[in-house]
Copies of this chain bind each other. A is one copy, B any other.
Amino acid sequence: MDARRTSLSANETRTRILDVAQALFAAHGFDATSMRMITGDAGVNLAAVNYHFGSKDALVQEVLKRHLRPLNGSRIQALDAAEAAAGGAPVKPSVIVESFFSSPLELAAGSDAGREFMRLLGRTFTEPSPMIRDFLVTEYEEVIGRYREAFCRALPAVPVEEILWRLHFMLGAMSHAVAGVDSLQVLTGVKVDEPDAMQRMAPRLMSFLLGGLRAPLPGPDGRIE
């Protein structure tokens, strides 16, 4: 850091704000992170966030978009590739699951910033703020639609409601696992903050998800076995 520096390029300032904001949002949550904390840590002026992004809400959306857009894009590419390889036949459920969950797990395993982002994203699903909810609905609309359709084609005998429930459970297990909830970490002793924790987790999670997806459906009386 050059102490004689008096200004940054517009792009440098933007990126620096996004990086710092992501770290602080991940560590403290959206509400508990103030613009003063962000601009202070980033070494930029308090007014810079409003100048570059318009508002704190817009900054939140920009932080999420930056990695979520490419993430959901590669999910769709993976499904495209799997469907092309299947040549018109339905794609196997295990391949669909792998296509959906590989990208986020690779992102989380690839770098500190990637892991940080996935922790943030996992927590974002449980934010009650309408602004966040609307944002996620828009961002996930296409990818969820594509995968729902793929599952329905792969499992024509299973009612669509059952498929949606299982997709919901799988998303929950992944979100929580990646968010690496500190409480559970302390309780169970599973270290989710070590650099290679995600590499060790990914195959275990994938196995768990497939096991859940393949579990026998409960009978009409709610009994499982």
Contact = CB atoms under 8 A, between A and B. Distances in A.
Given A173-B173, A175-B176, A140 B212 contact: no
A29 B127 contact: yes
A211 interface: yes
Contacts of A27: 128
Contact of A215 (B133, B166, B170, B207): B207
Contacts of A118: none
B129 A205 contact: no
Interface in A197-212: 201-212
A136 interface: yes
A166 B189 CA distance: 13
Contacts of A172: 172-177, 181, 184
A210 to B, nearest CB: 6
Q: What is the copy number of this chain in the assembly?
A: 2
Residue of A136, A168, A188 ringed by the most chain B CB atoms within 10 A? A168
A196 interface: no
A119 B89 CA distance: 40
A6 interface: no
A225 interface: yes
B161 A190 contact: yes
A11 interface: no
A156 interface: no
Given A32-B128, A182-B133, A218-B204, A176 B187 contact: no
A215 B212 contact: yes
B213 A184 contact: no
A148 interface: yes
A162 interface: yes
Nearest to A25: B128
26 contacts: A29-B127, A29-B129, A133-B182, A136-B183, A136-B187, A144-B187, A144-B188, A164-B188, A165-B190, A165-B205, A166-B204, A166-B208, A168-B177, A168-B184, A171-B176, A172-B172, A173-B212, A175-B176, A203-B218, A203-B224, A207-B216, A210-B215, A211-B211, A211-B214, A211-B215, A212-B215
